[in-house]
Amino acid sequence: MTRLFKTHDIRETEELSGALWKMRKEGESEEEARNVLVPSCWEKLPGYEDFRGTCIYTREFTAGGTVRLVFEGVSHTATVRVDGERRAWHYNAYTPFEAVVPDLPAETHRLEVWVDNRFSEASALHVPNDYMTYGGIIRPVTLEYLQGGAYIEALHLTPVMTGGRWKLKIAAFVTPYAAQNPADYVVTTGFAAEDANGMQALCYEREENGQWIFTGELEAAKVRAWTPGEPALYAIRTLLHHRNPQTGRPEEPFDDRIERVGFRSVEVRGNRILLNGETMRIKGFCRHEDHELFGNALPLSVMEQDLQQMRDMGANSVRCTHYPNDQRFLDLCDEHGILVWEENHARGLSEKDMRNPNFEPQAENCIREMIHAHYNHPSIYIWGMLNECASETDYGRECYIRQISLIRSLDTSRPATFATCKFTGCGGDYDGQLQLTDKCLDLPDVVSYNMYPLWYFDTDIPTFLADMQEQMEKSDGRGKPFLVSEIGAGAVYGWHDAAKAKWSEEYQAETVGRQLTAVLESEACTGVYIWQFADCRVSREWFSVRPRSHNNKGIVDEYRRPKMAYRAVKDIFCRYGNYKD
Ligand code: ADA
């Protein structure tokens, strides 16, 4: 299952994951291959716990004609071969890619996916880090049967409120694989719940990157708005037809795509973020896709369980740190009414890391692929990028400018931000000399700071926040909404200490309680994201500051067992509503 709703009535699709594939290490013979479930990551297999290298996944499928293979996530570099011929290559674990294979004879074919999880200069985003880069086919794989020379690759649905009425702007991305002329095709669209008479034709607008883009607008007078309390969703069906050369009218459709939309507006006004005109209060968690049993190949049940626990604690938002998430998780957020901050893949990269020649193309590709694939999720209210990268340097600023401009060129309907930690004056002892050293605060729509008072430095939180605000007023970020994009403290699950020393559950519960109260009481803050929802594994190079090789700031541990802080968070989050007055 790749989505939580049916995406096609006409196009035939078949899931290739949810099944055992053969897998072997590069250099091993086919006889040595073992059966593994896809999706999964190999670190969870006995004997592969710390394997970095290349594994070859194979399986057969029987099909004829033109097929499209869709990979939702392979960690981190994939080479796809069909019957020995290379059909796709992709870098980055967290974004989808496809391989279109034309005119296969109707017989059994061999699919091979070479998967590499090594760190090297070729990989600028997956580096040893404060979370784990795993290896494997970590998200679903589907086989689609194409016909008619072209297919609807994606839809972008943009709800717009004008004169008190909702409208829906639609862009259909049609990929021709054996067709020359867009005029030979017609794209029609409408609400899936309405009958076929309600379908309306889109207009051909332009060709871009080998795709034909058809656009149009639907009236949506009767819809209810999507809100956290009532997350109403609507299915939009889009059909692809040949144009009859005699009549010029559309023939019976041969391809389709169904997407869901929620009608809501997001707007930044002064220092507030408005959802449907109301001032939002963010009460959220940062979350890695990681679980001790599954690595980053999370089953749907874990995604749902995570959201249930977050909701139980009174959260209304999740920050997908630090990469694009599984679409099924975003589908769940759409359905639960949980607001999402999604960001491109980059954590803590220094100027030197950013000067890797692969950094910019890889980070920008990730933005393109993320926004293209996740554009329709009403839950996503903001795009993020470049968490804690070198925004305090001139070189870094150039990259920040390019990437935020790219985000804005791809989506004008949502604000953009980045989480920074660039300030000085807070080393071991807070000296009251807080300086914001970030050179990019003029760029985002929302300023977001990661901060750890009472963890990395022992400062009274209200004083620290007040100093931060004072400095903010003197910076290029003045007047913008301000989010605390990370705050928290570590605790090793099950370690109790009467003296409430750091790493004890007692210390974490008390500290997180104080941190949250201070931020939520601060008029100047739009909201807060706790670092982090669950403990996560870190790469082995990070052992020295991470007991158990885990980032232990989770409010639940890596098996989702609540720590003492769970109660503290719940008590505080449940006191504050979704909106400020
Ligand atoms: C950073 C970073 C997180 C995590 C956190 C921590 O701000 O963005 O990924 O490393 O700090 O635990 O220190």
Interatomic CA distance for residues 385 and 389, integer angstroms? 9
Under 8 Å between Cβ of 419 and 449: yes
Under 8 Å between Cβ of 423 and 438: yes
Interatomic CA distance for residues 221 and 229, integer angstroms? 21
Mean pLDDT confidence for 525-540: 97
Exposure b/e, 305-315, CB count within 10 A at least 16 = b: ebbebbeebbb
Q: Say if strands 211-219 and 203-208 run parallel, antiparallel, or are unpaired.
A: antiparallel
Query: What confidence score (pLDDT) does residue 431 get?
Result: 65
Backbone φ and ψ for 99, nearest 5 degrees, come out as -135, 120
pLDDT digits (tens, 9 = 90+) for 253-277: 999 999 999 999 999 999 999 999 9
Decide which of 69 and 435 is more confident: 69
Under 8 Å between Cβ of 499 and 558: no
CA atoms in the 13 A half-sphere facing the CB of 469: 16
- Three-class DSSP category at 148: coil
pLDDT digits (tens, 9 = 90+) for 290-341: 999 999 999 999 999 999 999 999 999 999 999 999 999 999 999 999 999 9
Backbone φ and ψ for 359, nearest 5 degrees, come out as -60, -55
Interatomic CA distance for residues 267 and 481, integer angstroms? 11
What sign has the CA pseudo-torsion 224, 255, 207, 360?
A: positive
Q: Which of 388, 421, 438, 457 is the best mutation target for the ligand 1 pocket, counting ligand atoms within 8 Å of the beta carbon and taking the most?
A: 388
CA dist 381 → 262, 366, 390, 412, 528 (Å):
12, 18, 25, 12, 15
User: Which stretch of DSSP H or E encloses residue 320?
Assistant: strand 317-320
Atom nearest to 450 CA in ligand 1:
7
How many angstroms does the Cα of residue 388 sit away from the middle of ligand 1? 8
Atom nearest to 551 CA in ligand 1:
12
Q: Which of 131, 515, 551 is the best mutation target for the ligand 1 pocket, counting ligand atoms within 8 Å of the beta carbon and taking the most?
A: 551
Query: What confidence score (pLDDT) does residue 166 get?
Result: 97
pLDDT at 413 over 60: yes
Backbone φ and ψ for 370, nearest 5 degrees, come out as -65, -50
Residue nearest atom 9 of ligand 1, based on CA coordinates: 130
Percent of the chain with pLDDT strictly greater than 90: 95
Atom nearest to 322 CA in ligand 1:
9
Atom nearest to 421 CA in ligand 1:
7
DSSP 390: S
pLDDT at 427 over 70: no
Interatomic CA distance for residues 348 and 25, integer angstroms? 31
Mean pLDDT confidence for 492-515: 98
pLDDT digits (tens, 9 = 90+) for 113-134: 999 999 999 999 999 999 999 9
Least confident of 299-308, 429-438, 465-474, 567-576: 429-438
Angle between helices 359-374 and 394-410 (to 10 degrees): 20
Query: What confidence score (pLDDT) does residue 141 get?
Result: 98
Mean pLDDT confidence for 231-240: 98
- Pick from 190, 191, 221, 185: nearest CA to 203: 185
Interatomic CA distance for residues 200 and 236, integer angstroms? 12
pLDDT at 428 over 70: no
Mean pLDDT of the chain: 96
pLDDT digits (tens, 9 = 90+) for 192-218: 998 777 899 999 999 999 999 999 999
Mean pLDDT confidence for 89-108: 98
Structure tokens at 196: 């076929």
**What pairs with residue 550 in β-bridges?**
537
Query: What confidence score (pLDDT) does residue 430 get?
Result: 56
- Three-class DSSP category at 140: coil
User: Which stretch of DSSP H or E encloses residue 107?
Assistant: strand 97-116
Q: Which of 448, 484, 486, 533 is the best mutation target for the ligand 1 pocket, counting ligand atoms within 8 Å of the beta carbon and taking the most?
A: 486
Structure tokens at 66: 């033109």
pLDDT digits (tens, 9 = 90+) for 13-35: 999 999 999 999 999 999 999 99
Interatomic CA distance for residues 242 and 185, integer angstroms? 5
User: Which stretch of DSSP H or E encloses residue 86?
Assistant: strand 85-91
Protein residues whose CB sits closer than 6 Å to any atom of ligand 1: 130, 347, 387-388, 421, 450, 486, 531, 551, 553
Residue nearest atom 7 of ligand 1, based on CA coordinates: 450
Give the pLDDT band of residue 460 (cuts 50, 70, 90): confident
Percent of the chain with pLDDT strictly greater than 70: 99
Interatomic CA distance for residues 124 and 52, integer angstroms? 16
Give the pLDDT band of residue 512 (cuts 50, 70, 90): very high
Structure tokens at 64: 């004829």
How many angstroms does the Cα of residue 130 sit away from the middle of ligand 1? 7
pLDDT at 242 over 90: yes
- Pick from 330, 160, 179: nearest CA to 260: 330
Atom nearest to 131 CA in ligand 1:
9
